[in-house]
Amino acid sequence: MKSNNRREFIKNSSLLLGGLLLNSSKIFSREDAALFSTKPFLGEIAIFSFNFAPKNWAQCNGQLLPINQNQALFSLLGTTFGGDGQVDFALPDLRGRVPIHVGNGHILGQRSGEQAHTLHMHEMPMHKHAGKVSVVQKIGGNADQESPVGALPGKNDNHANRFSASYDEMMELAIPAAGNEGTVGGSQAHQNMQPFLTLNFCIALVGIFPTRN
């Protein structure tokens, strides 16, 4: 008895769903449902795990297509991704790039970012380096001259030469402060990429022309 009720429920549900698909213009007809299940939207981008573009698809490599052979697709893309708009137009180029959604100041087709980056002075945080200089100069000599001009005062044990005149000006000592300096760093670019997995991005060249809501 329960089995018969279950079959009857499934049958009625199938009939109800079929009626909705066939008779309601607010959902989909059976033909529409089949169409959507087999055809992509024109210009749709999909990700594949194999390394080639399926039939009626092209890899997103930025290649140029002739407008006269792809008028419907050109009417959607225009020159957003390149091309002269007279003879040809370009497909999106996703080679080595990560797609982001439009908004927050980013417009459709905008390209930015770099795979590797070299820091500039204005990008470095403010900082300073402490330095210390020590200067040592030994001065020595004996008072063995009678005139103090250009000589150093000192001790003489035999007291033979005593200076009775006043000293001249003290001589000047020029002591250079020498230190070591050098350039550090190699000015090499650093990797600027997040962890990634490479897949195959393709765009549909044939499909359902999208309409606005």
Alpha carbons within 13 angstroms on the beta-carbon side of residue 2 total: 0
Q: Is residue 187 part of a domain?
A: no
Q: Is 48 helix (H, G, I), strand (E, B) or coil?
A: strand
69 and 48 housed in the same domain? yes
Residue 151 placed within a domain: no
pLDDT higher than 50, residue 22: no
Residue 203 has pLDDT above 50, yes or no: yes
Q: What does the pLDDT read at residue 161? A: 55
Do 28 and 74 fall within a single domain? Answer: no
28 and 57 within one domain: no
Q: Is residue 85 part of a domain?
A: yes
- pLDDT band of residue 167 (cuts 50, 70, 90) is very low
What integer is the mean pLDDT of 129-156? 61
Residue 102 within a domain? no
Whether residues 91 and 56 share a domain: the answer is yes
Q: How many domains does the chain have?
A: 2
The boundaries of the domain holding residue 50 are: 39-97+192-213
* 47 and 21 within one domain: no
In a domain, 204, yes or no: yes
pLDDT digits (tens, 9 = 90+) for 44-71: 999 999 999 999 999 999 999 999 999 9
Q: Is residue 90 part of a domain?
A: yes
Check pLDDT > 90 for residue 27: no
Q: Do 47 and 91 belong together in one domain? A: yes
Per residue in 171-199, pLDDT (tens digit) is 555 555 555 666 666 777 777 778 889 99
Q: What is the pLDDT of residues 69-128, one digit of tens each?
A: 999 999 999 999 999 999 999 999 999 999 999 999 999 999 988 878 887 777 778 877
- pTM for the model: 0.56
Q: Are residues 30 and 55 in the same domain?
A: no
Of 52, 43, 51, give the one whose Cα is nearest residue 198: 51
Q: What average pLDDT does this structure show over 121-138?
A: 70
- Same domain? For 91 and 51 the reply is yes
Both 57 and 89 in a single domain?
yes
The answer on 57 and 34 residing in a single domain is no
Q: What is the model's pLDDT at position 19?
A: 44
The rounded distance, in Å, linking the Cα atoms of 60 and 177 is 64
Strand order in the sheet with 200-204: 45-48, 200-204, 57-59
Same domain, 88 and 58: yes
Average confidence score pLDDT of the chain? 75
Q: Strand locations in 13-70, DSSP E?
A: 45-48, 57-59, 64-66
